[in-house]
Amino acid sequence: MSVHRIMGLETEYGISVPGHPTMNAMVTSSQIVNAYAYAIAAPGTGKPRWDYDEESPLRDARGFDMSRAEADPSQLTDEDLGLANVILPNGARLYVDHAHPEYSTPEVTNPRDAVLWDRAGVEVMNVAARAAASAPAGQQILLYKNNTDNKGASYGCHENYLMRRSTPFSDVVRHLTPFFISRQVFTGAGRLGIGQDGRTSRYQLSQRADFFEVEVGLETTLKRPIINTRDEPHADPEKYRRLHVIVGDANLSDTATYLKMGTTAIVLSMIEDGALGFDAMPLEPVAEMHRVSHDLDLQHGITLTGGRTWTAVAMQKAFLERAWDYCDSRWGSQYDEQTKDVLTKWGAHLDALETDRSLVADTVDWVAKLALLDGYVHRDKLEWDDARLALVDLQYSDIRPDRGLAVRLEQRGRLVRMFDDETVRRACENAPTDTRAYFRGECMRRFPESVAAASWDSVVFDLPDRETLLRVPTLEPTRGTRDHVGHLLDQAQDASALIDALTES
């Protein structure tokens, strides 16, 4: 395999209400989600619930289940807490995850589509914020695509990759630990502040790095691990494992997201095929996660278990070299263009970061943001602990088209954008056609009155001619595509006819 595999992103957005610093974040997040639900709802239809029946958040990839008594409440994501939760016509999920509105993209098959439907999430959040403000007794709610409030709290941008169940999890840990620690050089979103509370006014590569405390574990909000062991595939568990990656930043740069997803997909393919052939495990993984993020010059030597040292860029170049060899050995010159593009851009970014990082100021978030901050420091002769710089840091992640600094950079051609507005709007309304998200999204679009619930691996129908609810399983992510079920959907006059056609096919 190459960069092509089932993947997706989950992004929790920072939230605030101007003039109300003590606002209830759960209530405000619910306002955002419900506002969007009402904005897109068909007249006279209800709101399908999220189907939690098949979820198993306490199953550990190391071969055991954590007890519910032992788990932190934040880990019990299979409980319906009555918070706002919406299934969208593009196959995505928009819901309240504790204190934040979260957008989970539909399943896609490649990093380019991951970028597109992630950008659709930004547009969804902008529409939701405008709808919430215009509602009766509504208020302005600001949303930020970032990862920390710089007061000790962090919220995630999680990646998900479907991989072979047969791959030993020990191989995943051994190879992905150094990869994740070193990939910060091009995936970091940049942060002004060191430590979880951001009290030290220095700049670093990543917004998430300082919040990781252990090497491997099941948790996502406490004792955060570099390698998360949640074993909840949302697919056939005999065939698949879903790798749940929690170390990444929420990127504003399309290219950074593209490289984050694409390079990780290639490395996973090499792990599955046993093709890496080198061991780069750091001696102190958690400490190195922090040190790499704090090193703006990219000169820090990561000490490996064997005693040698590698910079993060050198480590990434080692992964890249193996990736070229791996692809060449399997496909020669015939491998797909997107895989070749990811490999080429990966190498070009590493070369630029090693020689002149200004060359990637239009594609790497931490470099773009640092250039903005440097500009203010030199123009206004500011110290790095000046409160105005903290506002610039925050404003970079503001998603409003007229206020966000990353958006402004895009508008001026100083941050590369991969998709135009119309393409993004279509992705807000339409699911990818090459995964099961197509079936889920089209059912929500065509028959919203008949969908009682849905999840990643099922759609539950409530039909007037059936005595009980009817669950249609979608355990195989590559089925339920337009090629697979599009003709059945087009021929069905209603949900009952669709179910009859599915039963007969």
Q: Could you tell me if residue 431 is inside a domain?
A: no
The dihedral formed by the CA atoms of 73, 74, 75 and 76, expressed in degrees to the nearest 10: 60
**Nearest alpha-carbon partner for 150 in 188, 190, 192, 184:** 192
How far apart CA 321 and CA 341 sit, in angstroms, is 15
Is residue 406 located within the same domain as residue 445? no
Q: Could you tell me if residue 84 is inside a domain?
A: yes
DSSP 96: E
Is residue 54 located within the same domain as residue 122? yes
Contact 326, 274 (CB under 8 A): no
CA quadruple 395, 401, 407, 409: dihedral sign: negative
- Residue 136 is predicted with a pLDDT of 87
239's CB contacts (< 8 A; 6+ apart) are: 164, 165
Is residue 54 located within the same domain as residue 131? yes
Q: Could you tell me if residue 487 is inside a domain?
A: yes
The single-letter code of the amino acid at 214 is V
Is residue 78 located within the same domain as residue 125? yes
Is residue 149 located within the same domain as residue 241? yes
* Among 380, 398, 425, residue at a domain's last position: 425
How far apart CA 9 and CA 245 sit, in angstroms, is 9
- Residue 297 is predicted with a pLDDT of 98
Helix/strand/coil for 11: strand
**Nearest alpha-carbon partner for 3 in 280, 331, 246:** 331
Q: Could you tell me if residue 318 is inside a domain?
A: yes
Residue 116's CATH number = 3.30.590.20
* Among 371, 398, 425, residue at a domain's last position: 425
Is residue 207 located within the same domain as residue 160? yes
Q: Could you tell me if residue 1 is inside a domain?
A: no
Helix/strand/coil for 272: helix
Token output for 25: 């974040």
Token output for 388: 């105005």
Residue range of the domain that includes 477:
436-504
Overall domain count for the chain: 2
Contact 254, 119 (CB under 8 A): yes
Q: Could you tell me if residue 384 is inside a domain?
A: yes
Token output for 425: 């709007």
Q: Could you tell me if residue 197 is inside a domain?
A: yes
**Nearest alpha-carbon partner for 228 in 213, 239, 240, 210:** 213
pTM of the complete model? 0.95
**Nearest alpha-carbon partner for 142 in 425, 387, 395:** 395
Q: Could you tell me if residue 2 is inside a domain?
A: no
Is residue 126 located within the same domain as residue 244? yes
Is residue 182 located within the same domain as residue 300? yes
Tokens 């695509």 correspond to 145
Is residue 407 located within the same domain as residue 496? no
**Nearest alpha-carbon partner for 291 in 176, 204, 421, 413:** 204
Is residue 492 located within the same domain as residue 363? no
Give Dmax over CA atoms of the chain in angstroms. 73
* Among 385, 405, 425, residue at a domain's last position: 425
Per-residue confidence in pLDDT tens, the chain, 505 aa: 689 999 999 999 999 999 888 889 999 999 999 999 999 876 545 578 887 766 665 566 776 565 555 655 665 555 556 678 999 999 999 999 888 999 999 999 999 999 999 999 999 999 999 999 998 888 999 999 999 999 999 999 999 999 999 999 999 999 999 999 999 999 999 999 999 999 999 999 999 999 999 999 987 777 899 999 988 999 999 999 999 999 999 999 999 999 999 999 999 999 999 999 888 999 999 999 999 999 999 999 999 998 999 999 999 999 999 999 999 998 877 789 999 999 999 999 999 999 999 999 999 999 999 999 999 999 999 999 999 999 999 999 999 999 999 999 999 999 999 999 999 999 999 999 999 999 999 999 999 999 999 999 999 999 998 889 999 999 999 999 999 999 999 999 999 999 999 988 6
433's CB contacts (< 8 A; 6+ apart) are: 481, 482, 483, 486
Token output for 193: 């502040």
3-state percent helix, strand, coil for the chain, nearest multiple of 5: 40, 20, 40
**Nearest alpha-carbon partner for 399 in 132, 213, 215, 130:** 130
How far apart CA 251 and CA 390 sit, in angstroms, is 18
Q: What angle do CA 244, 405, 24 make, to 5 degrees?
A: 60
**Burial code of 362-396, b = ≥16 C-beta within 10 A, e = fewer?**
bbbbbbbbbbbbeeebeeeeeeeeeeebbebbbbb
Token output for 76: 């019990």
How far apart CA 281 and CA 270 sit, in angstroms, is 16
Is residue 464 located within the same domain as residue 350? no
Q: What angle do CA 286, 179, 307 make, to 5 degrees?
A: 65
Residues designated catalytic: 97
Is residue 410 located within the same domain as residue 458? no
